Amino acid sequence: MRSAMLLFACARALRYARPSRRPLTARRRQRVGASDEARLALKEYSEFGQEPIPENTSEEDVTLTGDAAVVRRAVSILAPYVSDERRDTFQRVVQQRTRHLSVAFERPSNPSNVWACLRTIDAFGCQDVHIVEDSLEEAAKRAAARGVHADPTQRMRGRKKRMTSAMGAQKWLSLEAHADAQALVSKLKSEGRIVAATDLSPGAVDFSEVDWASGKHALVFGNEEVGISDELRELADVRVRLPMRGLAESLNLSVSVGAALAHVDAKGALVPDLTVEERDLLLLRWSLLSVRAGRELLRREGVELDQGVLKTRASVLGFTT
């Protein structure tokens, strides 16, 4: 009888025993489930430390104040929850990012073409992408002009599958949508950019005739079927064309973007130029994309930031990235 009671007590104890804590692996450290003790322990051994920018670069030895200091603190809070490999990648990539050139698309008819372009843009280190969205009505008009009478909502279907062509690049870029060419150019001009629109019509100059390194530029690509709009043609500072030596009149959009960026890069115009504050802000946004409940962690640490600073998603071409 005594043995039976002892076995019952052991079984009950095992049933209600607290399960042993799993080790905090690189994957699991990105979850809020980690305790404060585990998080502090990770900080102690973290190579990331309190400074998201390497200390061996003299120009970055600055004292940050205001929101910039808060952003840097937020990055250090989230650092232990990001895997070592990803943190190293973030550090390497953010040091090579440029805002000297931004890329824009006016009324693209096929979202999958743009998603493929985003991979190329990311690979060349450009951070900012602007998009003027194509309306269903305009798409229907172009289709009717070709004798095609398709349901304008049909092209909205199945887009989710096509977004895979970006291979996740859209998450790391800064995407902004605009209503029309006027709004796009106004935004680009406010940033002090020279607006260069790709165009095949008379008056367009060869890519080699533009001094891409002389100032900040925005390179705008038009619709795959009809090119840039008349409005953009009037608003652009310069219209450019890629040299074509064959019988084909144009290139696939993603090929055009790759060729154009390769040319601009060869001219030395894609040099890293982000400020310390801009790099810290990117590190914060990338960390928030990597840490499942990063905002809750920041609130727990008493970090208060404007919602615009914490924004990591954008709605473009019918998707929230």
Looking at residue 38, its amino acid is A
Structure tokens at 280: 């810290």
Long-range contacts of 14-17 (CB under 8 A, 24+ apart): none
302 and 225 in a single domain? The answer is: no
Q: State which of 229, 247, 266 marks the end of a domain.
A: 266
254 and 292 in a single domain? The answer is: no
Structure tokens at 122: 């990311």
Residue 124 is predicted with a pLDDT of: 96
Q: Would you call 64 exposed, middle or buried from its count of C-beta atoms within 10 A (0-12, 13-18, 19+)? A: middle
CATH number, domain containing residue 212 = 3.40.1280.10
Residue 191 is predicted with a pLDDT of: 97
Report the relative pairing of strands 319-320 and 315-316 from DSSP bridges: antiparallel
111 and 90 in a single domain? The answer is: no
Tell me if 281 is assigned to some domain.
yes
230 and 278 in a single domain? The answer is: no
Q: Which residue range(s) make up the domain with 154? A: 101-266
Residue 160 is predicted with a pLDDT of: 47
Residue 33 is predicted with a pLDDT of: 42
Residue 34 is predicted with a pLDDT of: 45
For 79, residues 6+ apart whose C-beta sits below 8 A from its C-beta are: 43, 46, 48, 49, 52, 87, 287
Tell me if 3 is assigned to some domain.
no
For 205, residues 6+ apart whose C-beta sits below 8 A from its C-beta are: 238, 239, 240, 241
Domains: count for the chain? 2
290 and 161 in a single domain? The answer is: no
254 and 105 in a single domain? The answer is: yes
Q: Please list the pLDDT of the chain residue by residue as tens digits (321 residues).
A: 666 666 666 666 555 554 444 554 544 444 444 445 444 544 443 433 333 333 333 345 555 656 899 999 999 999 999 999 999 999 999 999 999 999 999 999 888 888 889 999 999 999 999 999 876 666 666 555 555 555 555 555 544 445 454 446 778 999 999 999 999 999 999 999 999 999 999 999 999 999 999 999 999 999 988 899 999 999 999 999 998 888 777 788 999 999 999 999 999 999 999 999 999 999 999 999 999 889 999 999 999 887 777 676 666 665 555
DSSP string covering 216-251: -EEEEE-BTTTBS-HHHHHH-SEEEE----SS-S--
Statement: the pTM of the whole predicted model exceeds 0.95 = no
What does the alpha-carbon distance between residue 129 and residue 175 come to, in Å, rounded to a whole number?
A: 5
